[in-house]
Amino acid sequence: MWNKPTKKKKILVIDDDELHLYTTRELLQDEDCEVIIHKSNYGIGVTNLVRELQPDLILLDINMPGISGEQLAKLLRWRNAPFIFYSSNDEDSLRESASRYGAKGYICKGDITDLKSKVKQYLKTNLFEDVKISI
């Protein structure tokens, strides 16, 4: 009996920091995940990219010039795109933003060693409802 090939999960990382984008991609990319990075200074093309890629998960920075992650979140919610705020903001602020803007959770930037396991947990369990993970 042949094993049916499994579809790679797509993660879209949206941030204005190019070094952070490449680092995050390297940490998360493996045989089960395809990580697409998008440098966003002004939010141009994000909704079209989301429509085209249909990612399983979006990691969205909050603090970006031009259009904030919170403003982009409003557009992503309209597209029913699952996103997690991934930011250097303090945890209380992230928790409040996640609740206010409909994020599926939040991850505090900083402890990069746990990032991979936390994202995999989201993708594996699909526990997007009321699950907030902070690292």
Domain-embedded: residue 133: no
Identify which of 99, 92, 60 has the alpha carbon closest to the alpha carbon of residue 76: 60
For residues 2, 119, 131 and 75, what is the CA-based torsion angle, rounded to 10 degrees? -100
Mean pLDDT of 19-37: 88
Q: Look up the CATH number of the domain holding residue 92.
A: 3.40.50.2300
Cβ neighbours around 41 below 10 Å, total: 10
Domain-embedded: residue 67: yes
Domain-embedded: residue 120: no
Mean pLDDT of 51-79: 87
Domain-embedded: residue 128: no
Domain-embedded: residue 92: yes
Identify which of 11, 124, 18 has the alpha carbon closest to the alpha carbon of residue 58: 11
For residues 126, 34, 59 and 117, what is the CA-based torsion angle, rounded to 10 degrees? 60
Q: Which pLDDT does position 27 carry in this prediction?
A: 87
Beta strands in 6-119 (DSSP E): 9-15, 33-39, 57-60, 83-87, 106-108
Range of the domain at 92: 9-115
In this predicted model, what pLDDT tens digit does every residue of 66-121 receive, in sequence order? Answer: 888 888 888 887 777 889 999 888 889 989 999 999 888 888 887 676 687 778 88
Domain total of the chain: 1
Domain-embedded: residue 124: no
Mean pLDDT of 20-39: 88
Q: Which pLDDT does position 76 carry in this prediction?
A: 83
Q: Which pLDDT does position 108 carry in this prediction?
A: 86
Q: Which pLDDT does position 7 carry in this prediction?
A: 77
Domain-embedded: residue 123: no
Domain-embedded: residue 127: no
pLDDT band at residue 125 under the 50/70/90 scheme = confident
CA 58 to chain centre: 3
